[in-house]
Chain A
Amino acid sequence: MVGGFRWAAMFPDEVWEHVFSFLPADADRNAAALVCRAWYRIERRSRWRVFVGNCYAVEPAAAVRRFPEVRAAAIKGKPHFADFNLVPSDWGGGAEAWVEAMAEGWPHLEELRLKRMVVSDDCLELIARCFKNFKVLSLVSCEGFSTAGLAAIAANCRNLRELDLHENEVEDNCLHWMSHFPESFASLVTLNIACLEGEVNVSVLERLIGRCPNLKTLRLNHSVPLERLVGLLHRVPQLVDLGTGKFAAQHHPELFSKLESAIAGCKNLKSLSGFWEAGPTYLPAIYSVCEGLTSLNLSYATLQGPELIKLISRCKNLQRLWVMDLIEDDGLIAVAASCKLLQELRVFPSDPYGAAQPISLTEHGLVAISAGCPMLHSVLYFCRQMTNAALLTVAKNCPNFTCFRLCIMEPHTPDYITRQPLDAGFSAIVESCKHLRRLSLSGLLTDLVFKSIGASANCLEMLSVAFAGDGDAGLHYILSGCKNLRKLEIRDCPFGDKPLLDNAAKLETMRSLWMSSCSVTLGACRQLARKMPLLNVEVINERKRGLPLELQPDNCPVEKLYIYRTVAGPRSDTPSCVWILR
């Protein structure tokens, strides 16, 4: 910038605002805000959407002050490994502080999306009371609230368009919460109640959706019986996304044909999910809409391979498929032959603890999909065996992967043919897939794989590592490479203090680092905390025996470590098992 020249004076503020509105990413807006004070001022006043990837990275009040015109906010709380019970249940992630600050400073808030946070009924009541134009509530993997809180939302949010409850733990203490939607309420576009465990009053639901002409997404919970699905579908033929309730009933030809025609009547259906307890009996009732489907989630249906093949081979336009490993290799080969537009595949284990008979889902299924589906870019695959050769083939077939998550269920499993570690296979993946943003490793792995990842995975943003590596070098390769790494989560690996301390500065460029059951000592954490004031170094020790943490020696092993960058300083809501080192 030439001395004295003021960019901002070139145009009125409104013009700059309009220009900024074309910036696609928050990172771009952040960059614009750094150019000069005037741009900072203009940008902050015109930002209406914020994403807070870690609720403790900034004080709620500070965020609200900086961006006063926000209409849509998304906030994430607990670390990802909380999904697998590795984070103590009282760790934190409470939404209250944020909701209170937002109620105070963003009265015009319209959209709120929370993930992995503890949301109380009080929070929901506050939302219902304070945001007059509230339109979208999305809660994903949250807990702490009940249907009483939902009743408050239903009763007060006159303009609600989306109520999206995805995989939350919701207590059922208000059976008639849906009756709290007023008779005049007709604005719903999305209603996802699949995670609710209690009974749903289907008649109330019928009346509700009957008066919402814009309803596009309806995901029911397993309590809604198949017979009632017919009546519901008749009221919403414009549906695009359907999550069925219980998809099983006694065989009844009349019910079958009613269901078949009700579903056929939904000419815009693109996405199907639910299928709780689905059996072969009623599955053919959906055949008529298969050709139009782009998304199919059968991951809670324990259908067998042959039924799955019959269904999925009709879905020629499928882009996303979530299914159980009961589909087996044969089923995946059929998918590869039929679903040429497939972009995302997730295969979940029907029997993760290995008690039942073996399932024939192996590396062959994955290779078949990689060969048959040229548009595939996202994979989550649970299996029990893998080879380097298979991974090399997959890497060659699919250089466009953005997300590759392979979970070989037994830790330390090598290539079952050569008995070698799977370093070569995963290295091939990262070397071939130049746009890879997310990677989860498994199987027997040495430090070599980390060398490849550190060197090649230039777009990688999130890496999950378990039961891998030989020593410190592994972690050092990652932290000294992977220039776009944002989230790193590690469990049960022999990584210690040295790579952490040597790469302390890297941690400030990332959102967070989780390490549990590794070889990190308290002394290193103390050093790290002293050296890096913009990091919160949280040591989680649930055993609680012996001396309090302040008095433990430096060589005391750390069970769980969660480090994240923050401008808010240490948080004040830590439970007794969490210490924030200074």
Chain B
Amino acid sequence: MTPPLEHDYLGLPESPGEVSGNLKDTELRLGLPGSESPERFDGGGAGLTLGLPKNFVSGAKRGFSDAIDGPDAWVLPGVKGSEEERGKGGEKANGKLLGPPSVGKDDGGAAKVAPSPKAQVVGWPPIRSYRKNTMAANPSKNKDDAKGKQGLECLYVKVSMDGAPYLRKVDLKTYSNYKELSLALEKMFTCFTIGQCGSYGMTGREILTEGRVMDLLQGSEYVLTYEDKDGDWMLVGDVPWEMFTDSCRRLRIMKGSDAIGIAPRAMEKSKSRN
């Protein structure tokens, strides 16, 4: 098997034109707060740049967004109107309902009444994240051991970002491709960048130092990496999504300069796997 092509399985919108209106709003750019183009809707100033400057040349030093969809900056997947109108949209930006249909299990054998498809709704059933994380981390030794990791249908991994005061967790099962993941991460970590910090109310101790700010302004980008089952750090985007979710143990948003040398290993590793 040849190394997977970067773009084959990423599901770019069928007709990019139809979503172009939205793209402008959410395109990420680097710049000082207030210097954004007028079309950009955002009260908060500069967003997190995990994208690359337009003149980036592909090479050993690869950025996350380059792995996702080439030299363009991150794009918002086309808004899926019907799910959102249904009103079940949760925290995730596109409000997508994911997960396998749940089997209706009435012991009394009653038929299901609910007309909506049995997709997983955000935040329902109301189980605390802590409990979900703990159960996912300690899979049960249920009657049905053959099923392996129990059907909690969530896959929490920690996400850390260099320079951020604390890390977060994301449930990889709630995304179906790299774009959704990247969007969610951007939302999550935007608060740690320059423009947002003031409105977030953090003190000087928590925001990035002036040195870091200067780094960002000078255009050094961040890349998204992950630690796989074998403990190796790989660049996100190299492998098909399902393979990624199976092997990803934790995520780290690191400075591009620290990521040099990861790419070749990733390619070699997938070659040796084949």
User: Bound state CA distance, A336 and B169, in angstroms?
Assistant: 39
User: Bound state CA distance, A547 and B40, in angstroms?
Assistant: 9
Residues of B within 8 A of A413 (CB): 106, 113-114
Residues of B within 8 A of A411 (CB): 114, 116, 121, 124
Report B164-190 residues with CB < 8 Å from chain A CB. Answer: 165-169, 187-188, 190
Smallest CB separation, B139 vs chain A (Å): 9
Residues of B within 8 A of A120 (CB): 165-166, 205-206
User: Bound state CA distance, A419 and B109, in angstroms?
Assistant: 12
B96-128 CB contact bits vs A (8 Å, 1 = yes)?
Answer: 000110111111101011101010111111111
User: Bound state CA distance, A432 and B142, in angstroms?
Assistant: 38
Name the one of B84, B135, B199 contacting A543, with C-beta atoms under 8 angstroms: B84
**A409 contacts chain B at the CB level, 8 A cutoff:** yes
**B140 contacts chain A at the CB level, 8 A cutoff:** yes
Smallest CB separation, A408 vs chain B (Å): 9
**A508 contacts chain B at the CB level, 8 A cutoff:** no
Evaluate contact between A351 and B166: CB separation under 8 angstroms.
no
Q: Which residue from chain B places its CB closest to the CB of A118 in the assembled complex?
A: B166
Given contacts A90-B188, A354-B105, A410-B112, whether A348 and B131 have CB atoms under 8 Å apart is yes
Given contacts A89-B168, A360-B107, A576-B199, whether A352 and B41 have CB atoms under 8 Å apart is no
Evaluate contact between B103 and A543: CB separation under 8 angstroms.
no
Residues of A within 8 A of B142 (CB): 302, 326, 350-351, 356
**A88 contacts chain B at the CB level, 8 A cutoff:** yes
Evaluate contact between A86 and B123: CB separation under 8 angstroms.
yes
User: Bound state CA distance, A536 and B134, in angstroms?
Assistant: 35
| Interface-facing stretch out of A63-71, A91-99, A446-454 | A91-99
Name the one of A171, A277, A302, A407 contacting B126, with C-beta atoms under 8 angstroms: A407
Residue among B113, B125, B205 having the largest count of chain A Cβ atoms under 10 Å: B125
Evaluate contact between A384 and B201: CB separation under 8 angstroms.
no
**B202 contacts chain A at the CB level, 8 A cutoff:** yes
Smallest CB separation, B227 vs chain A (Å): 15
Evaluate contact between A141 and B128: CB separation under 8 angstroms.
yes
Q: How many residues of A contact B (CB 8 A)?
A: 83
Evaluate contact between B107 and A85: CB separation under 8 angstroms.
no
Residues of A within 8 A of B104 (CB): 354, 410
| Interface-facing stretch out of B48-56, B63-71, B147-155 | B147-155
Evaluate contact between B206 and A548: CB separation under 8 angstroms.
no
Report A344-379 residues with CB < 8 Å from chain B CB. Answer: 348-358, 360, 362
Evaluate contact between B151 and A356: CB separation under 8 angstroms.
yes
Smallest CB separation, B112 vs chain A (Å): 7
Evaluate contact between A412 and B113: CB separation under 8 angstroms.
yes
Given contacts A81-B123, A574-B199, whether A358 and B165 have CB atoms under 8 Å apart is no
Residues of B within 8 A of A410 (CB): 102, 104, 112, 114, 118
Evaluate contact between A88 and B91: CB separation under 8 angstroms.
yes
Residues of A within 8 A of B246 (CB): none
- B contact residues, range: 35 or more
**A146 contacts chain B at the CB level, 8 A cutoff:** yes
**B59 contacts chain A at the CB level, 8 A cutoff:** no
- The A contact surface, by secondary structure, is loop
Evaluate contact between A351 and B114: CB separation under 8 angstroms.
no
**A87 contacts chain B at the CB level, 8 A cutoff:** yes
Residues of B within 8 A of A356 (CB): 142, 144, 147, 150-151
**A160 contacts chain B at the CB level, 8 A cutoff:** no
Given contacts A353-B152, A385-B106, A559-B89, whether A491 and B199 have CB atoms under 8 Å apart is no
User: Bound state CA distance, A89 and B91, in angstroms?
Assistant: 9
Residues of A within 8 A of B120 (CB): 353
Residues of A within 8 A of B209 (CB): none
A396-424 CB contact bits vs B (8 Å, 1 = yes)?
Answer: 00000000000101111110110100000
Evaluate contact between A195 and B130: CB separation under 8 angstroms.
yes
Residues of A within 8 A of B90 (CB): 85-86
Evaluate contact between B127 and A300: CB separation under 8 angstroms.
no
**B2 contacts chain A at the CB level, 8 A cutoff:** no
Evaluate contact between B91 and A85: CB separation under 8 angstroms.
yes
Smallest CB separation, B82 vs chain A (Å): 14
User: Bound state CA distance, A277 and B205, in angstroms?
Assistant: 40
**A573 contacts chain B at the CB level, 8 A cutoff:** yes
User: Bound state CA distance, A546 and B165, in angstroms?
Assistant: 32
Report A416-459 residues with CB < 8 Å from chain B CB. Answer: 416-417, 419, 440, 444
Smallest CB separation, A346 vs chain B (Å): 11
Name the one of A88, A168, A349, A353 contacting B99, with C-beta atoms under 8 angstroms: A353
Evaluate contact between A575 and B200: CB separation under 8 angstroms.
yes
Name the one of A143, A412, A546 contacting B25, with C-beta atoms under 8 angstroms: A546
* B residues neighboring A (CB under 8 Å): 22, 25-26, 41-44, 76, 79, 84, 87-91, 93, 95, 99-100, 102-108, 110, 112-114, 116, 118, 120-131, 134-135, 138, 140-144, 147, 150-153, 160, 165-169, 187-188, 190-191, 196, 199-203, 205-206
23 contacts between A and B (CB under 8 A): A83-B128, A84-B127, A88-B187, A90-B188, A90-B200, A94-B200, A120-B206, A141-B128, A276-B138, A299-B131, A304-B143, A352-B125, A358-B105, A358-B107, A409-B125, A416-B106, A544-B41, A544-B42, A545-B76, A545-B79, A548-B41, A573-B199, A574-B199
Known: A90-B191, A144-B165, A355-B103; 20 extra A-B contacts, CB below 8 A, are A85-B91, A120-B206, A141-B130, A167-B128, A171-B160, A276-B138, A349-B125, A350-B142, A353-B99, A356-B142, A356-B151, A358-B105, A382-B125, A411-B124, A412-B114, A417-B110, A491-B124, A517-B89, A544-B42, A576-B43
